[in-house]
Amino acid sequence: MTRKLTTSDVDAGASVAAFLALRLGLDAGAAQARIVAGAVYVDGRRERDATRVLRGGERIAVHDPPEGAAAGWRVVREEPDLVVVDKPSGLAVIAGRAGGAALATEVAAAFPGMHPFHRIDRDTSGLVLFARAGGAKRLADALAAGTLVREYLAVVAGAPPERLVLDAPIGPDPADRRRMKAGVPGGKPARTEVAVVRYGTRTTLVRARLATGLTHQIRVHLAAAGHPVVGDTLYGGPTGPRLALHAEHLEWPGPPRASARSPLPAEIEALVA
């Protein structure tokens, strides 16, 4: 649903966020989130600056999220043909057969023509690339050339070596169709480079860099190495409040070369103990 508003002389001097909060009955954070998510237009142009001062007489359109939409995603970087979104844990990138909220649906409503270039698991938080046709080709070329950087932070069980290169092929687990498995005959090549960020007494924070991008790749490789991700019950990880996996860093060629980062959520940071 799109709500259309017009500012008056009384609104002159107020910020866009303050105006929306007052007229729509939102708190300040919710009003700002609508603007950052690209759901607010002022005089036909998407407005990204929540602090922009109104003059009076502006026509404002607000695109409400679809019913059942999950709050919490935000735009980290926007280019003409691609956008980087920071996704919360618990929100699927693509809707399943049962429907429900999906990041792709919400991003497409805010950025027409944008489609996910890659996916991360529902319970993984962090950065997801969306692109239109031109951006998708640029990213695909970068992926083929090995110049698309995708790095994750994870809290894992135990104390792995300071550096690991996990290079086992991955394919469906014949014993459980929900799972993938490392080293299965006919599996696709998969490579994950792992470096320790900080050791705890029982767990370790690691950075995992993908050279390939198969389903559950980081989770499968770390579990096969004897260091499953905390909260990853599917692959034998220790119990945790959530899957302790976060897509922290993306980098892609330009011109100019660009990057995006997402801070490690506090609930994952707290698991390094």
Q: Which domains does the chain have, with CATH numbers?
A: 1-64 (3.10.290.10), 148-269 (3.30.2350.10)
Torsion over CA: 226, 150, 139, 66 (sign): positive
- pLDDT recorded at residue 68: 47
141 is annotated as an active-site residue: no
Q: Rounded to two decimals, what is the model's pTM?
A: 0.77
Among residues 11, 86, 121, 232, the one annotated as catalytic is: 121
Q: Read out DSSP for 222-248?
A: HHHTT-PBTT-GGGTPPP-SS--EEEE
Ranges of the chain with pLDDT below 50 = 68-69
- Rounded-to-integer distance, Cα 153 and Cα 195, Å: 10
- pLDDT recorded at residue 101: 76
- Rounded-to-integer distance, Cα 164 and Cα 167, Å: 9
pLDDT digits (tens, 9 = 90+) for 127-160: 999 999 889 999 999 999 999 999 999 999 999 9
- Rounded-to-integer distance, Cα 160 and Cα 35, Å: 42
- pLDDT recorded at residue 256: 83
- pLDDT recorded at residue 239: 93
